Chains A and B, each alone.
Chain A
Amino acid sequence: MKKKKLTLPHGIPGHNLSQIDREVHIDEPPAWPINDKLQHVGKRVKRNDAEAKVTGNAKYTSDMQLPGMLIGRMLRSPYPHAKIRSVNTEKAENYPGVYAIHVFSRAFGMAQPADNDKENQFPEIKYAGQPIAGVAARDAETAEEALKLIEIDYETFPFVVTVEDALKPEAPLVFTTNVEQEDKGGGGGGAKGLKTQGNLRGPNTASFYGGPRGDLEKGFSEADVVLENTYRTQVHTHCPLETHGVVVDWKPDFVTIYASSQNTTSVRNEFAEVFDLPMSKVRVITEYMGGGFGAKHALGNFGVMAGHLSKKSGRPVKLMLDRKEEHISAGNRPNSIHVLKVGAKKDGKLTALQQKSHGTAGVGLGAGVGRIAQAMYECPNFSTEQYDVFTHAGPGAAWRAPGNVQGAFALEQLMDELAEKLDIDPLDLRDVIDKSEIRKVERLRGAEKFDWKRRNKPGSDKGPVKKGIGMAQSHWPRITGINASVEVRAFRDGAVEVRSAVQDIGTGTKTILAQVVAEELGLKPEDITIRIGDTLFPDAPGSGGSQVTGSITPPARNAAYKLKMQLLEQVAEGWELEAEELDVADQKIFAKNDPSKSIAFKEALGNMRTGQLLTSASRSDDYGGFMVGKSISYGELGSVQFAEVTVDTETGYVKVDRIVAVHSCGRPLNITQLESQINGGVIQGISYALYEYRVMDKNTGHQMNANLDMYKVPFAFEVPEIETVLVEEYSARSSTDAFGIGEPANIATAAAVANAVYNATGVRFYEAPITPKRVLEALNNL
Chain B
Amino acid sequence: MNKFSWYQASSVEEALKAVNSTVSESLTAKPGTGAVFKSGGIDVLDLMKEGLLQPEMIVNIREIPGLDSIEDTADGGLKIGANATLAEMMENEKIKQNYQALYQSLNHAATPQLRNMASLGGNLAQRTRCWYFRSIDHQCFRKGGSTCFAKNGMNEFHSILKNGMCSSVHSSSISTALMAFDAKVEITGSKGKQRLVDLDDFFILPGDDPSRENILRSDELIAAVILPKISSDTKSIYKKQGARESYDWALADVAIVADVKSGKCSKATMALGAAAPVPLRIQYAADMLVNEKIDENIAKEVAEAAMERATPLEHNAYKVPLFKALIKRSVLQLA
A residues with a Cβ closer than 8 A to B are 78, 128, 141, 144-145, 464, 648, 650-653, 655, 691, 695-700, 702, 704-705, 709-710, 712, 714-718, 771-774, 776-777, 779-780, 782
Could you name 10 residue pairs across A and B whose Cβ atoms are closer than 8 Å? Answer: A141-B2, A650-B321, A652-B322, A655-B245, A697-B153, A704-B153, A710-B129, A710-B157, A718-B246, A776-B318
Given A698-B153, A773-B315: A653 and B241 interface contact (C-beta under 8 Å): yes
Closest-CB distance, A196 to chain B (whole angstroms): 28
Residue B131 CB within 8 A of the other chain: yes
B120-146 CB mask vs A (1 if < 8 Å, else 0) is 000000000101100101100000000
In the complex, the answer to whether A718 meets B245 with C-beta atoms within 8 Å is: yes
* Residue among B135, B245, B317 making CB contact with A702, cutoff 8 Å: B135
Beta-carbon nearest neighbor of B147 in chain A: A699
Residue B335 CB within 8 A of the other chain: no
Majority DSSP secondary structure for residues of A touching B: loop
Closest-CB distance, B233 to chain A (whole angstroms): 28
In the complex, the answer to whether B244 meets A691 with C-beta atoms within 8 Å is: yes
Closest-CB distance, A757 to chain B (whole angstroms): 16
**B328 / chain A contacts, CB cutoff of 8 Å:** 650
Closest-CB distance, B196 to chain A (whole angstroms): 33
**A714 / chain B contacts, CB cutoff of 8 Å:** 244, 246
Beta-carbon nearest neighbor of A699 in chain B: B153
Q: Known contacts A697-B132, A714-B244; can you find 12 more A-B pairs with CB under 8 A?
A: A651-B322, A651-B326, A652-B318, A653-B241, A691-B244, A696-B154, A709-B249, A710-B157, A771-B243, A772-B241, A773-B156, A776-B322
* Residue among A464, A653, A704, A718 making CB contact with B132, cutoff 8 Å: A704
Residue B1 CB within 8 A of the other chain: yes
Alpha-carbon separation in the docked complex, A655 to B244 (Å): 9
Alpha-carbon separation in the docked complex, A704 to B132 (Å): 7
**A651 / chain B contacts, CB cutoff of 8 Å:** 241, 322, 325-326
* Residue among A650, A691, A695 making CB contact with B154, cutoff 8 Å: A695
Residue B248 CB within 8 A of the other chain: yes
**B243 / chain A contacts, CB cutoff of 8 Å:** 691, 712, 771-772
**A704 / chain B contacts, CB cutoff of 8 Å:** 131-132, 135, 153-154
Residue B205 CB within 8 A of the other chain: no
Alpha-carbon separation in the docked complex, A763 to B227 (Å): 45
Beta-carbon nearest neighbor of A769 in chain B: B243
**B321 / chain A contacts, CB cutoff of 8 Å:** 650, 652, 776, 779-780, 782
**A700 / chain B contacts, CB cutoff of 8 Å:** 137-138, 149, 153
Alpha-carbon separation in the docked complex, A773 to B316 (Å): 8
The 3 closest A-B CB pairs, nearest first, are: A715-B246, A650-B325, A717-B245
Closest-CB distance, A136 to chain B (whole angstroms): 18
Alpha-carbon separation in the docked complex, A78 to B154 (Å): 18
B contact residues, range: 35 or more
Chain B, 179-235, CB within 8 A of any chain A CB: none
Beta-carbon nearest neighbor of A696 in chain B: B154
Alpha-carbon separation in the docked complex, A145 to B325 (Å): 49
Residue B3 CB within 8 A of the other chain: yes
Residue B6 CB within 8 A of the other chain: no
Residue B247 CB within 8 A of the other chain: yes
Closest-CB distance, A249 to chain B (whole angstroms): 27
Alpha-carbon separation in the docked complex, A776 to B156 (Å): 12
Closest-CB distance, B197 to chain A (whole angstroms): 30
Residue B97 CB within 8 A of the other chain: no
Alpha-carbon separation in the docked complex, A234 to B328 (Å): 33
**A702 / chain B contacts, CB cutoff of 8 Å:** 135, 137-138
Alpha-carbon separation in the docked complex, A653 to B321 (Å): 12
In the complex, the answer to whether A145 meets B2 with C-beta atoms within 8 Å is: yes
In the complex, the answer to whether A715 meets B247 with C-beta atoms within 8 Å is: yes
Closest-CB distance, A308 to chain B (whole angstroms): 25
In the complex, the answer to whether A699 meets B149 with C-beta atoms within 8 Å is: yes
Alpha-carbon separation in the docked complex, A776 to B132 (Å): 25
In the complex, the answer to whether A141 meets B153 with C-beta atoms within 8 Å is: no
In the complex, the answer to whether A697 meets B244 with C-beta atoms within 8 Å is: no
Residue B5 CB within 8 A of the other chain: no
Residue B152 CB within 8 A of the other chain: yes
* Residue among A141, A464, A653 making CB contact with B3, cutoff 8 Å: A141
Given A141-B3, A695-B131: A716 and B246 interface contact (C-beta under 8 Å): yes
Alpha-carbon separation in the docked complex, A417 to B3 (Å): 59
Residue B251 CB within 8 A of the other chain: yes
**A774 / chain B contacts, CB cutoff of 8 Å:** 318
Closest-CB distance, B19 to chain A (whole angstroms): 23
In the complex, the answer to whether A141 meets B154 with C-beta atoms within 8 Å is: no
**A653 / chain B contacts, CB cutoff of 8 Å:** 241, 245
Beta-carbon nearest neighbor of B46 in chain A: A709
Alpha-carbon separation in the docked complex, A714 to B245 (Å): 9
* Residue among B131, B241, B247, B329 making CB contact with A705, cutoff 8 Å: B131
**B325 / chain A contacts, CB cutoff of 8 Å:** 464, 648, 650-651
In the complex, the answer to whether A712 meets B248 with C-beta atoms within 8 Å is: yes
**A650 / chain B contacts, CB cutoff of 8 Å:** 321, 324-325, 328-329
In the complex, the answer to whether B131 meets A777 with C-beta atoms within 8 Å is: no
**A717 / chain B contacts, CB cutoff of 8 Å:** 244-246
Alpha-carbon separation in the docked complex, A464 to B324 (Å): 13
**A776 / chain B contacts, CB cutoff of 8 Å:** 318, 321-322
Beta-carbon nearest neighbor of B323 in chain A: A651
Alpha-carbon separation in the docked complex, A727 to B330 (Å): 48
Closest-CB distance, B317 to chain A (whole angstroms): 5
**B248 / chain A contacts, CB cutoff of 8 Å:** 712
Alpha-carbon separation in the docked complex, A68 to B317 (Å): 56
* Residue among A464, A648, A696, A718 making CB contact with B244, cutoff 8 Å: A718
Beta-carbon nearest neighbor of A655 in chain B: B245
Closest-CB distance, A771 to chain B (whole angstroms): 6
**A780 / chain B contacts, CB cutoff of 8 Å:** 318, 321
B1, B154, B318, B322, most chain A CB atoms within 10 A: B318
B243, B315, B326, most chain A CB atoms within 10 A: B243
Closest-CB distance, A391 to chain B (whole angstroms): 15
Beta-carbon nearest neighbor of A690 in chain B: B244
Chain B, 287-335, CB within 8 A of any chain A CB: 315-318, 321-322, 324-326, 328-329
Alpha-carbon separation in the docked complex, A771 to B248 (Å): 14
Alpha-carbon separation in the docked complex, A716 to B153 (Å): 31
In the complex, the answer to whether A699 meets B152 with C-beta atoms within 8 Å is: yes
Closest-CB distance, B93 to chain A (whole angstroms): 26
Alpha-carbon separation in the docked complex, A653 to B246 (Å): 13
Alpha-carbon separation in the docked complex, A773 to B243 (Å): 9
Closest-CB distance, B113 to chain A (whole angstroms): 12
**B249 / chain A contacts, CB cutoff of 8 Å:** 709
Alpha-carbon separation in the docked complex, A712 to B243 (Å): 8
**A655 / chain B contacts, CB cutoff of 8 Å:** 245
Alpha-carbon separation in the docked complex, A68 to B157 (Å): 46
Closest-CB distance, B126 to chain A (whole angstroms): 13
In the complex, the answer to whether A782 meets B129 with C-beta atoms within 8 Å is: no
A699, A709, A715, A772, most chain B CB atoms within 10 A: A772
Alpha-carbon separation in the docked complex, A145 to B315 (Å): 38
Closest-CB distance, B30 to chain A (whole angstroms): 13
Closest-CB distance, B181 to chain A (whole angstroms): 24
Chain B, 151-191, CB within 8 A of any chain A CB: 152-154, 156-157
Closest-CB distance, B318 to chain A (whole angstroms): 4
